[in-house]
C-alpha cells in the first residue's frame, strides 16, 4: 500500500505543468526513486518503523511551491534585464550631473588664474627681501630660511617659484579649454538622436582620458602654488616682525634696499598683509576645488565601467573595446 502511494505521488508530480526544465527534471527523478523508497519502507518491521510514508498531497505541495519559486526568480531576472541604450541613458544623466560640478570648478579657476599672475609679479618684488633676509639670517637666527633650509639658495627659490607659477598658469588655461569642451558636448547630448549611445560612450572616454587628467594636473599645480605661498608668507611675516623690533636688519642690508627705511618698512608690511589675505582666499577656494576633484574621480571611473559593459553588450561597439 505504501509503495502504491509513493508511485501515485510520483505520477501526479509528473503531471504538474511547468515552463522550467528544472521542475521537469525534479518530477522525472522522483519516479525511479520510488522503488528503493518503497522497498525500504516495506522492509522495516511494523513494530520498529515509526516513520510513515510521505502523503501525496505533501509531495505535490512541495513541488508546486518549488515551481512557484522558480517562476518568481525568472520574473526577477526578466525585470533586471537592461539594454545598452538604457545604460547609455544612465551614463548620460550622470554626465549632466558632473557637468554641473565642472561649471562650478570653472568659476573658481578664473580666480586661481588671477592669483597665480598676482603671485608671479610679487615673487619678483619679494626677491630683494629674500636676498636681504639671507644676509640677515647670518646674524638673525630667528629668521626662517626660504628655500630648503639654505639661505644662500634664495635666488633658486625665486626662480623655481616663477617656473612653478608659470606651469600652474599653463595647466589652468589648458583645463579651462578642456572643461569647456566637456560642458559643451554634455549640453549637446540628445537621447532622441540615433547616435546618442555612441556620443555618450565617446564623451565618457573623453572625461576619463582628457578631463580627469587635466583636473588632476591643475590640482597638483595648485598644491605647489599653495606651498610656495606658505613658504613666502612665513618668511615675510618673520622678517616683518624682526625689522619692526630692530634697525640692525636695515643697517646690515642697506646696499640691497632703498635708502628710505620708512618706505621699505611700509612696503614690506603692506606686502605681507596682502599676501596673507590673498593666501587665505586662495586656500578656501582650493579646498572647494579639491573636493570636486575627489568627487569626480570615482564618478568617471564608474562611467567607464558602465561604458565597458555597453560595449560588451552591443556588437556595434565591440570593435572599440
Residue span of the structural domain in which 75 resides: 2-80
Whether residue 55 is found in the same domain as residue 91: no
pLDDT tens across 256-315, in order? 565 555 666 677 778 788 888 988 889 888 998 999 999 999 999 999 998 988 888 776
Whether residue 25 is found in the same domain as residue 96: no
> What string of DSSP letters covers 49-87?
--PPPPPHHHHHHHHHHHHHHHHHHHHHHHHH---HHHH
Structurally, the chain folds into a number of domains equal to 2
10 Å CB burial of residue 72 (0-12, 13-18, 19+) is exposed
Last residue within a domain, chosen from 30, 65, 80 = 80
Whether residue 63 is found in the same domain as residue 37: yes
Residue 253 is predicted with a pLDDT of 61
Whether residue 62 is found in the same domain as residue 96: no
* Residue 180 predicted with pLDDT over 80: yes
Whether residue 107 is found in the same domain as residue 18: no
pLDDT tens across 211-267, in order? 999 999 999 999 988 888 887 787 777 777 766 666 666 666 655 565 555 666 677
> What string of DSSP letters covers 227-275?
HHHHHHHHHHHHHHHHHTT-SHHHHHSGGGS-S-HHHHHHHHHHHHHHH
Residue 38 is predicted with a pLDDT of 44
Whether residue 64 is found in the same domain as residue 99: no
Whether residue 294 is found in the same domain as residue 215: yes
Whether residue 149 is found in the same domain as residue 285: yes
More confident residue, 121 or 191: 191
Whether residue 19 is found in the same domain as residue 129: no
Q: Which residue bears the cell 518549488?
A: 66
Whether residue 200 is found in the same domain as residue 67: no
pLDDT tens across 117-131, in order? 888 877 777 666 666
pLDDT tens across 39-82, in order? 444 444 444 444 456 677 887 888 888 888 888 876 765 555 67
Last residue within a domain, chosen from 80, 102, 132 = 80
Q: Are 144 and 234 in contact (CB under 8 A)?
A: yes
Q: Are 84 and 314 in contact (CB under 8 A)?
A: yes
Whether residue 167 is found in the same domain as residue 291: yes
Whether residue 288 is found in the same domain as residue 196: yes
Last residue within a domain, chosen from 50, 80, 110 = 80
In this prediction, residues 186-207 reach a mean pLDDT of 92
Amino acid at each position: 500500500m505504501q509503495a502504491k502511494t509513493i508511485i501515485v505521488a510520483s505520477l501526479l508530480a509528473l503531471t504538474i505543468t511547468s515552463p522550467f526544465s528544472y521542475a521537469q527534471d525534479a518530477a522525472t527523478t522522483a519516479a525511479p526513486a520510488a522503488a528503493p523508497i518503497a522497498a525500504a519502507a516495506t522492509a522495516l518491521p511494523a513494530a520498529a518503523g515509526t516513520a510513515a510514508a510521505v502523503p501525496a498531497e505533501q509531495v505535490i505541495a512541495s513541488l508546486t511551491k518549488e515551481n512557484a519559486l522558480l517562476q518568481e526568480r525568472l520574473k526577477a531576472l526578466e525585470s533586471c534585464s537592461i539594454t545598452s541604450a538604457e545604460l547609455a541613458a544612465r551614463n548620460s544623466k550622470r554626465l549632466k550631473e558632473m557637468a554641473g560640478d565642472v561649471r562650478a570648478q570653472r568659476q573658481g579657476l578664473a580666480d586661481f588664474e588671477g592669483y597665480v599672475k598676482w603671485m608671479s609679479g610679487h615673487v619678483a618684488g619679494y626677491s630683494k627681501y629674500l636676498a636681504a633676509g639671507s644676509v640677515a639670517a647670518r646674524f638673525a637666527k630667528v629668521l626662517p630660511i626660504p628655500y630648503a633650509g639654505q639661505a644662500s639658495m634664495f635666488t633658486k627659490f625665486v626662480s623655481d617659484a616663477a617656473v612653478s607659477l608659470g606651469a600652474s598658469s599653463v595647466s589652468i588655461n589648458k583645463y579651462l579649454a578642456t572643461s569647456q569642451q566637456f560642458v559643451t558636448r554634455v549640453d549637446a547630448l540628445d537621447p532622441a538622436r540615433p547616435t546618442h549611445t555612441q556620443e555618450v560612450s565617446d564623451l565618457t572616454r573623453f572625461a576619463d582620458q582628457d578631463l580627469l587628467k587635466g583636473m588632476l594636473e591643475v590640482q597638483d599645480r595648485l598644491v605647489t602654488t599653495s606651498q610656495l605661498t606658505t613658504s613666502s608668507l612665513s618668511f615675510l611675516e618673520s622678517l616683518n616682525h624682526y625689522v619692526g623690533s630692530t634697525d640692525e636688519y636695515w643697517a646690515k642690508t642697506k646696499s640691497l634696499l632703498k635708502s628710505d627705511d620708512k618706505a621699505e618698512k611700509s612696503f614690506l608690511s603692506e606686502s605681507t598683509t596682502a599676501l596673507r589675505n590673498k593666501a587665505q582666499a586662495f586656500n578656501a577656494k582650493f579646498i572647494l576645488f579639491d573636493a570636486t576633484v575627489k568627487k569626480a574621480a570615482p564618478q568617471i571611473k564608474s562611467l567607464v565601467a558602465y561604458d565597458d559593459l555597453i560595449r560588451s553588450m552591443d556588437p556595434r561597439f565591440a570593435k572599440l573595446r
